[in-house]
Chain A
Amino acid sequence: GAVVSQHPSWVICKSGTSVKIECRSLDFQATTMFWYRQFPKQSLMLMATSNEGSKATYEQGVEKDKFLINHASLTLSTLTVTSAHPEDSSFYICSAKTGTSGRGARANVLTFGAGSRLTVL
């Protein structure tokens, strides 16, 4: 089946540095990808919707200048956390709609990458 590949799976960085997380769709094209953040024992929080060839759509309260999203091709979206601080430490997960359109068992299914755990010291 369709796979969403995300890396790195974990990263540790110093405060003030930038970190890039990549999300790739394998064997399919993803015009839209979604980026989520999840703090320990909390629910998924949608940060932004990444659209191939255009600007990302950010959710309310998410700083677009801090969380830079680039979706330059149909198989790659990247999230860059700029000037990271300890409060940015979290689990970042990308996803893409891998299901078919319309109805059916696999219609409109959202598939997640494995996630990237960011720790900012």
Chain B
Amino acid sequence: QKEVEQNSGPLSVPEGAIASLNCTYSDRVSQSFFWYRQYSGKSPELIMSIYSNGDKEDGRFTAQLNKASQYVSLLIRDSQPSDSATYLCASWAGTYKYIFGTGTRLKVLA
């Protein structure tokens, strides 16, 4: 069973801090990885994608990929209360199917 695993949280961080969200995956042939943000009652929206080992930065967000360890993370700098949401990690292995984790709930405390 190919899986993507995330800690369900909630992860609570104070406003202005760095939030670190982690994800591991089991399918070694996974090629691309995605972080989605889902607000309560809404559908997921893409934050970042990454396919190469290392870091990828976009504004306050940094995605990190370590294929040897099968580990993906998302760092959110200067966390804001508006970042409070559930963050979904997903992998794609070049087939038609995307594998989603169960999501980590982030709470940014004002």
The answer to whether B44 and A44 touch across the interface, beta carbons within 8 angstroms, is yes
Q: B43 interface residue, CB < 8 Å from A?
A: yes
| A103 to B50 CA separation, bound complex (whole angstroms) | 9
B contact residues around A112 at 8 Å (CB): 36, 43-45
Contacts of A32 in B (CB 8 A): 96
List 11 contacting pairs A-B, 8 Å CB cutoff, sorted by A.
A43-B88, A44-B44, A49-B96, A103-B32, A105-B49, A108-B32, A109-B46, A109-B49, A112-B43, A114-B42, A114-B43
Query: A110 CB to closest chain B CB, in angstroms?
Result: 5
Bound CA–CA A25/B31 (angstroms)? 25
Given contacts A43-B100, A44-B44, A109-B46, 4 further A-B pairs with CB under 8 A are: A44-B100, A93-B44, A103-B32, A107-B49
Known contacts A44-B88, A106-B49; A93/B43 CB under 8 A: yes
Task: Please indicate the chain A residues that have their CB under 8 angstroms from the CB of B45 in the complex.
Answer: 112
Q: What's the minimum C-beta distance from B65 to chain A, rounded to whole angstroms?
A: 13
Contact residues in B for A110 (Cβ distance below 8 Å): 34, 46, 90, 92, 98
Smallest distance from the beta carbon of A58 to chain B beta carbons, Å? 13
Provided the pairs A110-B90, A113-B43, A115-B43 are in contact, do residues A34 and B98 lie with their beta carbons within 8 angstroms? yes
| Chain A residue contacts of B101, Cβ below 8 A | 43
- Report how far A111 CA is from B91 CA in the complex, Å: 14
Q: Which residues of A contact B (CB under 8 A)?
A: 32, 34, 42-44, 46, 49, 91, 93, 99, 103, 105-115, 117
Q: Does B51 contact A (CB under 8 A)?
A: yes
Known: A32-B96, A110-B98. A103 touches B43 (CB 8 A): no
- Quick one: closest A residue to B56, CB to CB? A105
Q: Which of A44, A91, A108, A114 has the most CB of B within 10 A?
A: A44
Q: How far is the CA of A34 from the CA of B61 in the complex (A)?
A: 27
CB <8 Å contact, B46 and A111: yes
B43 touches A43 (CB 8 A): no
Tell me if B97 counts as interface (CB < 8 A to partner A): yes
Q: Are A103 and B42 in contact (CB under 8 A)?
A: no
Residues on A with C-beta less than 8 A from B96 are 32, 49
Are B92 and A108 neighbours in the complex by a CB distance under 8 Å?
yes
